[in-house]
Structure 1
Amino acid sequence: MAARKKKAWQDKLYDSLKKDLGITQFSYVPDAGHRILIDRSLSDPSVHSIPLSTEEEGVAMAAGAWLGGERSAVLVQSSGVGNCVNFFSLNVNARIPLLMLVSMRGDFGEANPWQVPMGQAVQPVCEASGLKVLRCDYEHEVLATVQAAGQMAFRSLQPMAVLFTQKLLGAKYFA
């Protein structure tokens, strides 16, 4: 009997985003940390997969999706969160849900000094901008954490950021 390949946590997350949270739109800036989610959304004809030229476009896309009766997940890397600060006021003040999944750089084991300042600033910047922030350090936390963030976003109309830390994703090393 052939051994079954374990399903990656990212695949389980994609399935849960669609089935449990009703996500029909994925907007993203290309990023290795979100590669599986991006690839799955691109190959899935039942969702809209929208590449962004800059991260703040995703915040506006999420608002537009909500106003059009859809639910969106925004996939960004931590280095782009600073680009979104001005746009967060749309979701905060208008009480429009935002589910932003952030692949972190500049934290646990970061080898690139240019990533550290923004990586350290992501959570306080998001919180100061009115977003609620949840963190995932380990695979076993991902589904429940994203599910909770989605419930808070779409039922309580809270803008949410879920940080996928480098403990979860692994630090990138460059020679």
Structure 2
Amino acid sequence: MSQQPISSPAWQDAIFKVLKEGGTKQIAYVPDAGHSGVIRSAIADPDIEDVVLTTEEEGVAVVSGAWLGGQRAVLLMQSSGVGNCVNMFSLLQAADFPFFTLVTMRGEYAEFNPWQGPMGKATQAALELMGIHVLRASKPEEVEEVVSAGFDAAFEAGEKVAVLLGQELIGRKKWERK
């Protein structure tokens, strides 16, 4: 019995297209359902190194090291992971590295887990306090343009950019009993 490939939402496919066409060579991530399509595409692409992290703050170092080695790298994380990175974001400012991250949001639209609320509400402010420019995409039809604009700001203009991917893109989540 063969397995059917898992299809990704079109907006996730658009993200991977932007990253691939932009010359991304490394994608660092803590596994997350909201990034699953991009992660699967990175794993399947022989030209992109997928780097599984144990914590998001490692990703700041990974993408910084990639830049020093002449490669473009992107960090994928959930909004709760932004809190893990705040101290590490100092590296970006001190060394003036370009930085690009895609952040799937929690604690917003139809959130079921109260643990996700506080960091979800603080994500944008935390990023901005650390000198990272924040863009947001909440509708599937705006994802490709917003991600492309953020990618170019990071790697063409040398900015530090986070694109927040609104929770409504991913849809409702709920606890499942087994």
TM-score (normalizing by structure 2)? 0.91
Distance 1:147 1:154 in 2: 11
Structure 2 residue identity aligned to 1:32: A
Distance 1:7 1:52 in 2: 24
Distance 1:25 1:78 in 2: 20
The offset of 1:92, in angstroms, is 2.0
Q: Which residue of 1 aligns with 2:119?
A: 118
Fraction of identical pairs, as percent: 48
Q: Deviations over 1:114-139 (max 9, x none)?
A: 11001001000000011000011001
Distance 1:125 1:82 in 2: 8
The offset of 1:97, in angstroms, is 1.0
Distance 1:87 1:7 in 2: 31
Q: Which residue of 2 aligns with 1:84?
A: 85
Mapped pair 1:101 → 2:102 = yes
Counterpart selection for 1:16 from 6, 13, 18: 18
Q: Which residue of 1 aligns with 2:57?
A: 56
Deviating above 6 A after TM superposition, structure 1's stretches of 4 or more consecutive aligned residues are: none
Query: What is the SS of the residue equivalent to 1:156?
Result: coil
Contact 2:97-2:158 at 8 Å conserved across structures: yes
Distance 2:156 2:137 in 1: 21
Structure 2 residue identity aligned to 1:25: Q
Report the RMSD for the aligned CA atoms in angstroms: 1.5
Contact 1:101-1:161 at 8 Å conserved across structures: yes
Which runs of no fewer than 5 residues in structure 2 stay unpaired?
1-6
Contact 1:92-1:131 at 8 Å conserved across structures: no
Q: Which residue of 1 aligns with 2:3?
A: none
Distance 2:159 2:134 in 1: 10
The offset of 1:44, in angstroms, is 1.0
Query: What is the SS of the residue equivalent to 2:109?
Result: coil
TM-score (normalizing by structure 1)? 0.93
The offset of 1:145, in angstroms, is 0.4
